[in-house]
């Protein structure tokens, strides 16, 4: 359920590792292409068009929040 996932993802104590964040980003791009993986993950001209955001927490290791 999308609503339950959104609630869990945006809780204050939800943090994502680099791998989890990149997997989520990749999944979102694949869904934008309706599940069909084309030459690139998303409908973009080059890999340089995707600019991942910086992590919210840097130390002791990088973590992203679910709200980013």
Determine the distance from the C-alpha atom of residue 53 to the mean position of all C-alpha atoms in its chain, rounded to a whole number. 9
The pTM (predicted TM-score) of the whole model is 0.66
What's the total number of domains in the chain?
1
Strands in the chain per DSSP E: 15-16, 64-65
Range of the domain at 19: 2-48+57-65
| Burial readout 12-30 (b: 16 or more C-beta within 10 A, e: otherwise) | eeebbeeeebeeebeeebe
1-59: per-residue pLDDT in tens? 678 888 888 899 999 999 998 888 877 776 665 555 554 444 555 555 667 789 999 99
């Amino acid at each position: 359920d999308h609503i339950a996932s959104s609630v869990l993802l945006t809780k204050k104590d939800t943090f994502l590792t680099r791998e989890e964040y990149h997997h989520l980003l990749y999944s979102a791009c694949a869904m934008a292409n309706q599940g069909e993986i084309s030459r690139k993950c998303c409908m973009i001209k080059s890999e340089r068009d995707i600019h991942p955001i910086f992590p919210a927490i840097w130390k002791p290791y990088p973590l992203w929040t679910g709200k980013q």
